[in-house]
Amino acid sequence: MNPQQSPFHIGRYLVTGKLGAGGMGVVYLASDEHLNRQVAIKKLHANPNSSNAHQRIRQEARLLAQLNHNNIVQIYDVVEDGADIALVMEYVDGCSLDRWQREREPNLRQKLQLLKQICEGLTRAHSAGIIHRDLKAENVLVDSSNTIKITDFGIAKNWLEDSQITREQHVAGSWGAMSPEQAQGKPLDNRSDLFAFGVLAYRLLCGQNPFGDGSSPYTVIDRIVNNPHPPAIKLNPDLPQALCDLLDRLLAKNPDQRPFNAAAVAAEIEHLLQDERHSTDSFTRTESVTATVESYYHRQHRKRRWQKWLLIPSAVVGCLALLATLAYFGFTQMPEHETEGRYIAVVSPDWQPDSDAQRLLKSNVMSALKQGLSTRDGLLLIPFSESRKFAGQSLEQQARALNAQLLLVPQLDCNDTTCELTLDLINANSFAVVASRSTHLAPTESLGSRSRTLYQLNYLLPDYPANDAGDIQPISAQHYQRYLELFEQRDDERHQKEILDALEQLQQKASTFAPLYEFYAAIAFDYKYNSNSTEAGERLAAILQQVPQAIAHTPEVLKAKLRLAIIHNDPIQAEKLLTQLHLTLPDHAAAHYLSAIYYQQRGETGKALEDIDKAIALRPSYIYRVQKAMILSRGGELEAANAVLQEAIAQNHDTVFAISLLAGNLLDGGQPGETIRLLTRAGLDRIGAMDTYNLCLAYYIEQRYTEAQSCFKRVSDLAPKDADPLLYRAEIAREQQQPEQARALAQKALALTIGRDDWEGLLMQARAYAELDQAEKAVENLIRIRRDAPDDLYVNYARAQVYITTGDLLSAKAHIRKTLEQGISPIWYCTAQFAKICNLPAFDDLRQQYPGLCGGAKHNNKADDSQIARNGETSANL
């Protein structure tokens, strides 16, 4: 509570202070004036982020009401006032267990006494069927008399009941303290809490988390699921052997190997307390011990790398055992080329429909195949967004580009009333047909055709059974037909807003159809980056707030939420979602690929390269190589990027993606003529809005203003809410002695960005203000974004544009120098906008240091990355 804030009432309770706060709510210290005692009140925020926060706090109240034990915080009352709800609980005059340990030097006996009390509290909860699910030192309080109180039952669950609030397959809890079965979304019982208790006890007794405290949840969860913990005796040799054995059993991966219940653990701890050998109150940690959890895991990792070669004679048995432990994770300590299944790609049919009904049937079949293949044990489906890029190429070319082991080739043969669907399964090594099935479909029966397509897969793939996730998600035939119609328009960049409108209407009628949210997010994501509009993010946030709880943690919805986190530049939420996707997606390569895209967006090149290299190690596909080249380009390593692009082009030379990225790199490196040649040869009908933008920039740098003006106008038509092409058009109009047109274009650009407070919008505003001779406002905007905007080439080049336009030559020079040091080609400063630096003595040193400035030394075409050129591949691949 703010020190200046006066006491206030919640119900009959007088609030006198604040004990703590979190994402869901705040905990106050209050006085019960009727009973004359202090209480703690847990009150929700007025607008909690969680859509089911009220359900959770009510559930916590119901569960606590069942528990009356000295080692569990007691609930006294529930106060509801309209939409507000608060829990009135026992006030514990003390601190959390982790703080208690930090501020004291407890001996072994004191630690064991506390651990025994925790077990006694757990015994009471478990006897009522309640599992805590988030047992950690922060949720255990120690009062002034050293009495333990377990608190925060916010995600607790009665494992005998079916709760939609915290159902299975929803990974709830704290990453460093959850059991292996909890991390994998499996059914839980009391033994999951015993694992968490083992983590807590290990930390209390050894001073470290048994799985490390690294910043990456991926690493911690991987260790919990796949790797043995360091024996406690290695970190603390003074611990009794019986206590170390107990810790090992508590931390067993298999619940059946853990103690039966908390009462049994309490009994073992009591036996240790009564043992005369451990009854002394003196306990001193051996000072010579320097072992750490991290050093243990690093040694094990090196040891496993050698054992890989030493154990080749038993490779078959060892491989089976290791693969069994790899569920849900693509970031284990095993070599990255190990994987859980065979990659299968669906070849896009080359059949051309004769009617709208047949066209929708084609989409229906592909959608059904996606569902049916993505839920089969032992198969990893290569995304359609990737495989469809190679439609029309030979099977050999597609298999090589996708790095697929199996190909599924659908063929449709239609007459006036029905279509025959044939499915051929092909081994990508021998290109032999290993299985084939056919069935008749009615184009007018969408759900019936979907079901029959799914049914054929059961016969075609008997060795890869469908798991429970393969059920058809509820949607009516009419609404499914509408979904297919909208999905057919997914590549229509000119009508993305209208597609979003239609999807919002459909969502009101088919809210539990998870693919709808992934499709909506993909359109919104592209719309945002094509238009530079904040509208897309706002609309995506609104529709995701309406996701039913039953599908909130499906991969489709998680991917949609990830796109929103990227749009909102919310790293905490994004990394949480990536962790959930790493746990959810069976294809580890796809999970690493998503992480690489995210870190690239964040400008964290090192992390992005680490993830994309892991993806390539698992499946060296064309798309992953192009993504790696994009990351290298952003990091200023154009030579390395172009080498990777050559590998990608060798893998598949019939697609435009690597060629367009190469064109962007050449533009960044100061070769606009080569960029123009490559992109015009590819054809305007084949390149997207971002490549068109790069073509416009190439014309602009070459001072081919008529072509540049026409080109930027085309970009404005494709992305009417993007201010950037308007600003370049304004610059060109000014250089062509058309001041009125220049001002009108700058005013239009400013109007598009007014109201935005993100750094990109403010940067565009600054450029517009500079064009409109409002220097003070332009500089104010640059000051506002100095903490949020990345210190990269794009931002610094834009700053140089603002300062040169407003006449602040010293600031312009500073940013010109910075971009040149960062690798921008000097040719970017050979435009009319920067002509004045060629004659001013103040720029002599820059011209001497960089001879390419002002047209010298043939522009000094330096192959470094300027990152002024755009690339739209990210939005297409996420």
Residue 745 placed within a domain: yes
Residue 415: CATH number of its domain: 3.40.50.10070
Same domain? 425 vs 395: yes
C-alpha dist (Å) from residue 378 to 347, 458, 465, 739? 19, 14, 8, 65
Domain termination residue (choose one: 451, 472, 493): 472
For 858, the domain range is 694-877
pLDDT number for residue 661: 76
Residues with Cβ within 8 Å of 154's Cβ and at least 6 positions away in sequence, in order, are 24, 56, 57, 60, 134
Query: Quick one: what percent of the chain has pLDDT higher than 70?
Result: 82
**660/692 Cα distance (integer angstroms):** 10
| DSSP code, position 822 | H
pLDDT number for residue 778: 93
pLDDT number for residue 482: 87
Same domain? 212 vs 116: yes
- Whether residue 323 has pLDDT greater than 50: no
DSSP, residue by residue, 560-582: HHHHHHHHTT-HHHHHHHHHHHH
| DSSP code, position 2 | -
Q: Output 811 or 682, whichever has higher pLDDT.
A: 811
Helices 638-651 and 657-668, packing angle to 10 deg: 160
With beta carbons less than 8 A apart as the criterion, state whether 183 and 580 touch.
no
* In 461-570, alpha helices (H): 477-487, 496-509, 514-531, 535-544, 555-567
Residue 136's Cβ-count burial label (10 Å; 0-12, 13-18, 19+) is buried
Residue 33's Cβ-count burial label (10 Å; 0-12, 13-18, 19+) is exposed
Neighbours of 290 (CB within 10 A): 7
Domain termination residue (choose one: 272, 301, 330): 301
With beta carbons less than 8 A apart as the criterion, state whether 50 and 10 touch.
no
Active site residue 413: no
Same domain? 739 vs 848: yes
Same domain? 84 vs 103: no
- Kindly report, residue by residue over 404-442, the tens digit of the pLDDT: 999 999 988 888 788 888 999 999 888 888 888 888 888
Question: How many structural domains comprise the chain?
Answer: 4
Residue 840: CATH number of its domain: 1.25.40
DSSP, residue by residue, 689-740: HHHHHHHHHHHHHTT-HHHHHHHHHHHHHHSTT-HHHHHHHHHHHHHTT-HH
Q: Output 646 or 436, whichever has higher pLDDT.
A: 436
- Whether residue 170 has pLDDT greater than 60: no
Mean pLDDT calculated for residue range 579-600? 86
With beta carbons less than 8 A apart as the criterion, state whether 631 and 612 touch.
yes
- Residue ranges of the binding site: 43
Q: Which of 84-88, 330-334, 597-601, 605-609 has the highest mean pLDDT?
A: 605-609
Neighbours of 515 (CB within 10 A): 18
Q: Based on C-alpha coordinates, what's the Rg of the chain? A: 31
Mean pLDDT calculated for residue range 106-133? 90
Angle at 725 between CA 720 and CA 729, to 5 degrees: 120
**Ranges 44-48, 331-335, 580-584: which has the least confidence:** 331-335
Q: 374 pLDDT band (50/70/90 cuts)? A: confident
Residue 764 placed within a domain: yes
pLDDT number for residue 56: 66
Task: End-to-end CA distance of the chain: give it in Å, rounded.
Answer: 43
- Whether residue 522 has pLDDT greater than 90: no
Residues with Cβ within 8 Å of 766's Cβ and at least 6 positions away in sequence, in order, are 777, 778, 779, 781, 782, 798, 802
Same domain? 465 vs 346: yes
Read off the tokens for 784.
């506002």
**159/451 Cα distance (integer angstroms):** 34
pLDDT number for residue 686: 66
**711/707 Cα distance (integer angstroms):** 6
- Kindly report, residue by residue over 39-62, the tens digit of the pLDDT: 999 887 655 444 455 666 777 777
Same domain? 722 vs 779: yes
Residue 179 placed within a domain: yes
DSSP, residue by residue, 228-242: PPPPHHHH-TTS-HH
- Whether residue 279 has pLDDT greater than 70: no
Same domain? 353 vs 409: yes
| DSSP code, position 376 | B
C-alpha dist (Å) from residue 397 to 628, 657, 768? 21, 15, 48
From the candidates 77, 84, 98, 134, give the one annotated as an active-site residue: 134
Neighbours of 356 (CB within 10 A): 11
C-alpha dist (Å) from residue 436 to 26, 384, 387, 427, 458? 61, 21, 21, 12, 12
Mean residue pLDDT across the chain: 80
**60/281 Cα distance (integer angstroms):** 38
759 — phi, psi (to 5°)? -65, -35
**285/293 Cα distance (integer angstroms):** 16
Q: 334 pLDDT band (50/70/90 cuts)? A: very low
Read off the tokens for 61.
């109240």
pLDDT number for residue 4: 53
Same domain? 56 vs 100: no
- Whether residue 1 has pLDDT greater than 90: no
**841/846 Cα distance (integer angstroms):** 10
- Kindly report, residue by residue over 554-578, the tens digit of the pLDDT: 888 999 999 898 888 888 888 888 8
Q: 728 pLDDT band (50/70/90 cuts)? A: very high
**Element holding 793 (H helix, E strand):** helix 793-806
**Ranges 49-53, 402-406, 756-760, 797-801: which has the least confidence:** 49-53
Long-range pairs of 492-498 with CB within 8 A, sequence gap ≥ 24: 493/526, 493/530, 493/688, 493/689, 493/718, 494/718, 496/523, 496/526, 496/527, 496/530, 497/527, 497/535
* In 258-391, alpha helices (H): 262-274, 293-310, 315-324, 356-374, 384-387
- Of the candidates 358, 345, 481, which has an alpha carbon nearest to the alpha carbon of residue 413? 358
Read off the tokens for 425.
């399964």
Residue 761 placed within a domain: yes
Same domain? 293 vs 380: no
Long-range pairs of 520-523 with CB within 8 A, sequence gap ≥ 24: 520/560, 521/559, 521/560, 521/561, 521/563, 521/564, 522/490, 522/563, 522/878, 523/490, 523/496, 523/499
Bridge pairing between strands 13-21 and 25-32: antiparallel
pLDDT number for residue 320: 25
Taking phi over 0 as left and psi of -120 to 50 as alpha, with beta for the rest, 137 belongs to alpha
- Of the candidates 168, 92, 176, which has an alpha carbon nearest to the alpha carbon of residue 135? 176
With beta carbons less than 8 A apart as the criterion, state whether 317 and 379 touch.
no
DSSP, residue by residue, 441-479: E-TT-HHHHHHHHHHHHHHH-TTS-B-GGGSPPP--HHH
Residue 665 placed within a domain: no
Same domain? 80 vs 113: no
Same domain? 743 vs 791: yes
Residue 143: CATH number of its domain: 1.10.510.10
Residue 612 placed within a domain: no
The single-letter code of the amino acid at 763 is: L
**Ranges 224-238, 433-447, 681-695: which has the least confidence:** 681-695
Angle at 794 between CA 793 and CA 797, to 5 degrees: 80
Q: Output 867 or 681, whichever has higher pLDDT.
A: 681
**181/191 Cα distance (integer angstroms):** 10
- Kindly report, residue by residue over 377-413, the tens digit of the pLDDT: 889 999 887 888 888 888 888 888 899 999 999 988 8
Same domain? 282 vs 136: yes
Read off the tokens for 86.
């608060």
Distance of CA 781 to the CA centre of its chain: 30
Read off the tokens for 704.
């081919």
**701/695 Cα distance (integer angstroms):** 10
**672/827 Cα distance (integer angstroms):** 9
pLDDT number for residue 655: 66
3-state DSSP assignment of residue 421: strand
DSSP β-bridge partners for residue 40: 29, 89
- Residue ranges of the binding site for ATP: 43
Q: Output 285 or 529, whichever has higher pLDDT.
A: 529
- Whether residue 474 has pLDDT greater than 70: no
The single-letter code of the amino acid at 629 is: A
- Whether residue 168 has pLDDT greater than 80: no
Angle at 605 between CA 602 and CA 609, to 5 degrees: 120
Domain termination residue (choose one: 38, 58, 90): 90
